[in-house]
Amino acid sequence: MTTSQDIIRPDVLAMTSYPVPDATGLIKLDAMENPFNLPGDLAKALGEHLAGVALNRYPAPRPAQLLAKIKRTMHVPDACDVLLGNGSDELISMMSVACSKPGAKVVAPVPGFVMYEMSAKLAHLEFIGVPLKADFTLDADALVAAIDEHAPALVYLAYPNNPTGTLYDDAGIERVIAASKKSLVVIDEAYQPFAEKSWMPRAAEFDNVVVMRTVSKLGLAGIRLGYMAGRPAWITQFDKVRPPYNINVLTQATADFLLDHLDVLDAQAAELRAQRTKLARDVAALPGMTVFPSAGNFLLVRVPDAAVAFETLLTSRVLVKNVGKMHPLLANCVRLTVGTAEENAHMIAALKKLPTFD
């Protein structure tokens, strides 16, 4: 009898799938989602708009109207093209596949977004993680040394970084770009609405840089849309490995409609930035808590015992992310998504139930 063990790659058999816990009945503060729904009138108008979508037709592979609107509303430089993905995850996968030459490598700071490493391994690329400094700032010297040694195909820089929330300094990033003479530097701006800083205006300035974003953190996680901007020489090649019709018609229509209402989403992001400030202050006031600076819609917090903190919050119906075992630098850290004022207050009340540690 043929079994999966006979057919599937050994490294895949040894892997675990991406964990997504069941959040039924819980205050979901583990995945950096925007907690706000669309206003009722806007949601109704969107529904009417989607009712006119031709579900019987394949989506446009490169929807010209949507691409033009993204370039205009997101201030993509005229010299850049845009590539769409089913979330930024698919864009990362496309780049990994396209760059998967024998011996090719990927370099990124760690701890960082797990999909950089996972996609690299699935595409038979060697992944080299370069540890951040103890305060989670970029170790530019170590990163440049790794680039000089390994000449990677891809270098990922999350701006800001997940799960730390760090916004790397411009000088360090410029050093990395300059050192990447044989590499493409991917600046991942998934959390840009909360950072209020961006490399997008400079995307055409360098011949070895692309800027990647997603609309997920802007409040549209459910439609799964990522986009990447860069010089046409890069976008044209990555487009060749894009799955046909990868962005479905409902996603295209939703994004096209809501990009005309960015003021609503921008106002929600502003509210979350304000809530982030208050939440950071409230958490830092609790005994035994170390709150790290964050430019995302989440906080990385070191607690006396991450496992105890996770379970204590869970008993109060608050789901957060225990990242304590992801990397040695994250020992006893939890990641708290910024929610509504009510959700944050509930989380603070739950954190106050933690046992004190001497």
Reported as a single tens digit per residue, the pLDDT across 43-96 is: 999 999 999 999 999 999 999 999 999 999 999 999 999 999 999 999 999 999
Task: Give the whole-angstrom CA distance, residue 258 versus residue 353.
Answer: 41
Domain 4-39+263-351 matches domain 55-261 at the CATH topology level: no
What residue segments make up the domains of the chain, in order of their start? 4-39+263-351, 55-261
Task: Give the whole-angstrom CA distance, residue 81 versus residue 67.
Answer: 9
Q: At residue 358, what is the residue type?
A: D
What percent of the chain shows pLDDT beyond 70? 99
User: What's the CATH number for 55-261?
Assistant: 3.40.640.10
The whole-number pLDDT of residue 15 equals: 83
The whole-number pLDDT of residue 17 equals: 83
- Residues lower than pLDDT 50 in the chain: 358
Considering Cα of 329, then 209, then 105, then 118, what sign does the dihedral take?
positive
8 Å CB contact between 144 and 130: no
The whole-number pLDDT of residue 358 equals: 47
Task: Give the whole-angstrom CA distance, residue 294 versus residue 315.
Answer: 26
What is the CATH class of 4-39+263-351? alpha beta
